[in-house]
Amino acid sequence: MATSKITPDNDAVVTEIEIAAPPERVFRALVDREQAMQWGGGKDFEIVLWEMDARQGGKWNFVSRDRTGKNPTGFSRFEHHGEFLEFDPPRLLVQTWYANWHPDPSHKTIVRWDLTPTPKGTLLKVTHSGLATMAGVAAGYSQGWPGLVQQIKSFLEK
């Protein structure tokens, strides 16, 4: 199982998993359409579109559909797109990530994939950042309130 946690500033979700295959093999599954179509969906979602210009500066684009019809966002079609900021196989992949179902669809979030070789295979770490600043960036403000949210949450949970 993957371990996934939210950073204390509420800005990023960090997920790690170890995979028994070398980084080259894992990287291929990330950027090869045939492969991504196979693992990218799941019980609740179906991938209906997947396009990727796999190089630095290249664009990517994927659309998934909710199979359950009861997604809490109220959306049934989830559109994601962005561009590769860094493309360094088989070690690193950094992409911008925009989504139609975000509170601000034009707000940039960043997904970073770090692949590190281990005796068993590959440690894959995915960091999705820019989440908490969603509304803040639009207001010209990019930090500070996540700490407040944390404080108020602890207040709430007392």
Partner 1 sequence: MRNRSVTYSPEAAFQALADPTRRAVLDLLRRGSQPAGAIASAFPVSRPAISKHLRLLRRAHLVREHREGRHRVYQLNPEPLRAVDEWLERYRSFWAASLTNLKSFVEAEYGKEMQAGSPSKHKQK
Which parts of this chain interact with partner 1 (CB under 8 A)?
A: 1-6, 10, 13, 15-22, 24-26, 29-30, 35, 38-42, 72-75, 103-104, 124, 126, 128, 131-132, 134-136, 138-139, 141, 144-145, 148-149, 151-153, 155-156
Please identify, using beta-carbon distances, which residue of 22 and 58 lies nearer to partner 1.
22
Please identify, using beta-carbon distances, which residue of 55 and 153 lies nearer to partner 1.
153
Q: Do residues 83 and 95 touch, judged by C-beta distance below 8 A? A: yes
Q: Do residues 126 and 15 touch, judged by C-beta distance below 8 A? A: yes
Q: How far is the CB of 17 from partner 1 (least distance, A)?
A: 4
Q: Which of 85, 82, 92 is nearest to 116 (CA)?
A: 92
Q: How far is the CB of 55 from partner 1 (least distance, A)?
A: 20
Q: How far is the CB of 6 from partner 1 (least distance, A)?
A: 5
Residues ≥6 apart with Cβ < 8 Å to 59: 51, 52, 53, 81, 82, 83, 84
Please identify, using beta-carbon distances, which residue of 54 and 126 lies nearer to partner 1.
126
Q: How far is the CB of 21 from partner 1 (least distance, A)?
A: 4
Residue owning tokens 């371990």:
3
Please identify, using beta-carbon distances, which residue of 57 and 144 lies nearer to partner 1.
144
Distance CA 32, CA 70 (A): 30
Q: How is residue 75 annotated by DSSP?
A: -
